[in-house]
Structure 1
Amino acid sequence: MTPPSAATPSDIAELSRCTAVFLPGDPARTGRVAFWRPDGATPSGPATGSTEELTVAVPADGTDDGPHDGLTGPGPTSPGPTGPGVETHTVRALVLPLGEALPVLTRARARAAQSGPGQCDPATAFWGAAAVLALQLAARGRLLPGLSATDHDAWRVGPLTPDDLTRVRELAAAMPPTAHATPLPVSGPVLLPEPERHLRAFLDAVADGLPRSPAAALASGGPAFAAPAPRRLPEQRAWAADVAAGHDAGVRLSIRIELLHGVGGNGKADGPRFRAVLQLHSLSDPALVADAADVWAGTSPITPALGPRARMDALLTLRRAARAWAPLTPLLSAAVPDALDLADEEVTELLGSAAGALDAAGVQVHWPRELARGLTARAVIGPDGEDETDETQDDAGPRFPAFLSADALLRFSWRFAVGDQELTRAELDGLAEASRPVVRLRDQWVLLDPEAARRVRDRQDRKLTPADALGAVLTGRTEADGTDVEVRATGWLEALRDHLADPEGTAGAQRAPVPQPSALAATLRDYQLRGLDWLVRMTSIGLGGCLADDMGLGKTITLIALHLHRMGIPEASGPTLVVCPTSLMGNWRREIERFAPGTPVRRYHGSARSLDNLDDGEFVLTTYGTMRLDAQRLAEAGPWGMVVADEAQHVKNPFSATARQLRTIGAKARVALSGTPIENNLSELWAILDWTTPGVLGTHGAFRRRYAQAVESGSDPEAAVRLAKLVRPFLLRRRKSDPGIAPELPPKTETDRAVALTKEQAGLYEAVVREILAEISGTGGLVRRGLIVKLLTGLKQICNHPAQYLKEDRPVVPGRSGKLELLDELLDTILAEGASVLVFTQYVQMARILEGHLAARGVPAQLLHGGTPVARREEMVRRFQDGEVPVFLLSLKAAGTGLNLTRAGHVVHYDRWWNPAVEAQATDRAYRIGQTQPVQVHRIIAEGTVEDRIAAMLTRKRELADAVLGSGEGALTELTDSELAELVELRGTER
């Protein structure tokens, strides 16, 4: 299409007050729009337009009402001067090619909508609305290739939906008389274009021009249907007819299958025969339907509603349908294409792929209501043996087989039904052996594909592992031979499903809850007792689970209580191995000694570590690093009564060496503890639960395909529902904000504190942006991603302090960072109140700068980071909790989990991490059970920088339900150059 018009605002204002009329062309894209003034003056406009004389039919009095009605009438054309007060005139008009006229028309319509009808001629406003409709149809891909009346290549709008047709007809009905006031080029009386046909010509003209761009020929492989210049293609007439078949029809076809009963030569009733009857439906009103025989005979009362082209439209659609299913071909040569008798094999085809092919061609198949259709399958999963249903029960509830035992295979069998009637095996055999697609069963005719019935009948019962079976019955669906089928549980598996459906046992179950162990030197809260009860139920039947309570709600004491409970059960007893981050080993030991006095506990860590003489009731504490090195020794030291993964997000990558080695250590029960089971994506949840209960979520690939991709993208809301059903029994999560969980917790206030950069920071920031953006431009792949990470890291360091980015050995610290100045002010206020504070930064180097700066100011402070020895960490925690050191500087990764630092009434995040869940964990070092004072959280943000945009991103992430599904820094490496420049641009914040 011709490039857009360069019409100026004054041109558009002038042409808006002119009367516009569409002048069709062949091919359609050569159509033009003429603008003329009722006063006879010559319009002005873009220089690309041409001034021509134009004959128009107008009311004699020059008005737009009354006499104009004489210009229109019924039928494809309308008489002109025969109406009273109507006459033809020759006017001077500005004629624009359609491509240049489109922006003028659309802007004129917008002008009329904004400024009122007086600012735009009704005809021009009408063609503006028509232009918008044409562009909307093209944007939806409603374009069809074909040939014009002179065999030129041409696009047109189509196929149109019933809603599209309604819009076209309503718009055509609103066409002002002057919008189609150019007489048709015929001899005799003056005739004007019929409104709907004239509007369709305009829509086709727009559609014909839009796909023709300079690059279109390269994409299509040739100039046909791509270049603006017309090309005659008479040899493509047959192809064009095939494309048009059915698409331009005003009717839709369907096939009604009739069931015919006859009597054979022996006087007995034969089996039923089938007949296909052709039906026509109105496209504008699908409720209007008639048999083809009645339409051809002209006896159907709805024939006028189908339009004068109903027969031709039906034949075009039938031709298209016959290409999809050959048995319809004889109808094309019939005098009346009304019906045909069907052979059994043709009925079978319609039961299979033929119905889908016809539906794709726009023809639906309707079967008789008296036929029972379709064989439905349902999978039944249960114990291997019809009578194996363990309904025994004690005070703790129903008892189940050891679920993860190797011999606990379950039978997977099929149940088949026709309608709502389940079939016996004998009845299924009868359907499978039938020679016809219709069989008499239970006093009704059943329609089915015998071959499909044979395939169903021949499926052998198969065995499932307990984990696969449980996953199927929890969701109620499974895949079998590539088909999604309903699942029903039987026997103890059914009881187990109901048992697991209520993780906290709050649904009125009759069994007694598990009491608190007498050896526990503490009183568990109600929600902790429910958590203990859940863990006991899961581990007693060989299942694992993830206790995912918020930080500070007492996961450690709940696990200690579980250990004490299992010590009294011979089949569950054995030492408990706790794998945790190095920084938490001391906390675990103190908690065990405090709440389970007398329980042996050892550290399996350091050069002198040993597993000799393990006691059944002993706790063994080790780190993820030691476990990875000594996995074989730990596995051989078993059998472990229980293995616990604390802060289990450390094994969120299932392919890491740590995760793989952890899986090699066998145990009677596996429990994961994590406040954030999902930090970035659902694969992390799979990794944790596939360790606690192997196989219950399926393979990693199947999990990504069936659940994770759909949930993370939001493309399938039902996938999230199915996943919730599957995960809920294995993951117990309570939040501090949940009713009744921690009502005694004091309030927490979170504040974002914006600071301006210093001149030095602003200069560095802009220089780094210019330099690295120049490097990034033109790069791709890993190189580009690496440069983006380098850019983001550098900018965040500059926002912290220039000395951090410049890596100065002996920096001059004061006066160079807006953040540092605000931190000094905050600390002065906090210390004056006698309070204590935690200061988190993700950079150890920045923490060291702060440590030196505070020492120079005489502020008592201490620094904990990843290299701090375990004994030193524990001493630092004690000193802070005892009030000896009021300022605790902490590395976010090293100290963001596990520590109990309730002495702090303030938490400062000096810089921002990409994941709000990680920041929340760090805050929970202070805001946890045992905290008695209000907690103030201060997040320092460099205003107008990348940190500002990160803060907005984190706010959006926190709004996601339950977990973070973004990909943090990784997602930013995929930004385009312009998006990246916008992200890092410094926006006027220098002081």
Structure 2
Amino acid sequence: MSVLARAVREVQAAVESRRVTPAVRAKFQVVALLVREEHARVQGKQAGSQASRAERLKRLDGIATILAKTAVRDPALLALLAEDAVVSDAARSLKRDMLRAAGIEPDPEEAAPTEPATGSASTERRVVPRSVVTRKLANPFLAPDFSSVRPGRVGPRRLAGWELLNPLLSSFERADDRAPACMALPAPAPLRLPGSRKLMPHQAQLVAAAAAGHRTFLLADEPGLGKTAQALLAAEAANAYPLLVVVPSVVKTNWAREVGLWTPNRSATVVHGNGDTVDGFAHIVIVNYEVLDRHVGWFGDFGFRGMVVDEAHFIKNKTSQRSQHVLELSKRIRSRTARPLLMALTGTPLINDIEDFLAIWQFLGWIDETEPRAELMDSLEAAGLTPADPGFYSAARQCVIDLGIVRRRKVDVAADIPARRTADLPVELEEKVGRSIRAAERDLARRLVARYETALANRRSAVAVDASGIDHALVRKIATSEQKNASTTKAGENVFSMMRRIGQAKAGLAADYAAQLARSAGKVVFFAKHVDVMDVAEEAFARQGIRYASIRGDQTPVGRQRNIDAFVNDPEVAIAVCSLTAAGVGINLQVASNIVLAELSWTDAEQTQAIDRSHRIGQTEPVTAWRIIAAQTIDSRIAELIDKKAGLAARALDGSDEQVWSSADVQHEALVALLTDALSESSQERAVSRDGH
């Protein structure tokens, strides 16, 4: 017990002084392992009095409490507490030493546990969508492509017998701040893009590299620099279809949307659950990590010519099932296609340790389990050095970077991007909640249609209708009436209560995305309209060990300023959770350049005021506001209306005759659009019915 107590205090002191080295992380993990084992041993122990066992458990709980508080100060340590966390060789060695120091002879060393990628439980859950079977039957002669196989190197190697993976990792640890972090990229080439879309110069450079024949990329640009568009256009340049895209669930819908924006000539299909709705003939297959295990079987035989892994730091734990599935698929793709496009996208290539690189490098085909693969080995051989030579480490680091590491920061490309921009991130609501909200929308639309039809039937004068048979003047009157009666109606949902429900449903997804941003890009400001949405977000951050500051309307001026100062001045406070109304004006949060808007405001002005808490004098980086939109709900329509009214307001301020729109106008227009769409659908259904007769 004394050995554990001394070790945990040493870890606590190192974290408080911000000297968290790999050795400190190993000690933290060993203490956690020994506390867990000792706790189980004492609870199952039959000898000794009940009082002595209770006292021992109390002391163990005290050590565990210190561990938890220490992990909160450095969230990267939280991953080491997980049941399936990888135990490094250094940690195993330290564990044996600590046991011996306590007078306990350690058990004979066991092999490191691994989680099989294709265990029986996983195999039982695997599925093959019907449309995929149809595709295979339609393409019975689909064969591997070895048209571009490179001949292997022959002859003796200078580096034969050298252990190289650790020196390669060390080459990144030893690099100074001035060392390059990005491969040489060609000049941008003219591209024909859909509509009026344009690439920023730094984006066009990566696409040009893919067009020139480069096929593996660790794209580590900071958030907000357009990694998704770069990946999709690189696939187009490389003709890497069919393309597999593996993503976190929160951005799955956004990837499908981005395909439609950047490569509208390519079809995309999103894998949900067992894949019942999968289009087996689509060019791009998008799947989230959580259901990858069910589909890894048919993915391996599908004939993909490219694979993109978004938020690639998710695969850092090489023994996890998720990581092993991704690595297995990469290997299968490389065995069928000589030079497939492989892209790992992450703003955070390193989370806990320099060893986090290994899984990403293996996915890209740069290394295998024990050594560099042919292309990297050839580059190292060409450098003419061994790990015993002083110049090896800088040369080795450059060899790895030249394979395809691309890292740009916002500040590096500030001239390329707008000083302030809003990016929409559509998300799929949880299935049951999403169905409930869409049903409430339909009920509201039916209620409006019934009122419209009643009013139309009671009219005695002629009605002015358009070609679709809709009286738009009456539509607006019905919308105005609904708007006035929204607070008193008992008939069901109104547009205000629906927007609140949508905000609650989005809260967890918005918090997950804010957490991803905080890990990859630094401080984030999280805005919400309702207190319950803020509560859900703060609970999510606490679970993930992310420190936050809360800025709300019910705080005293002193308490509010204390929380603002904590966010601005304490590097450990990663997120400011702000009320859109209470924190939207009068405070300075320019330490953050990323903002998450979890709920829509009713006006662009309110949204702009929130963004301007970061986009103000003293801000050194371009500001990106990530607006979380619930797909397939009225949320999407209201976002479009806010943007439309914002454009009209801007022209009005520039001297046109257009009026500046209020929140009531957006609410009214949302109801008008809902009723108009419902009437159009009803009219089409009646026409189809008549044609059928």
Q: TM-score, normalised by structure 2?
A: 0.36
Of structures 1 and 2, the one with the larger relative CO (CA 8 A, separation 6+) is: 2
Richer in strand (by share): 1
TM-score (norm 1): 0.26
The structure whose Rg is larger is: 1
Which of the two has greater helix per residue? Answer: 2
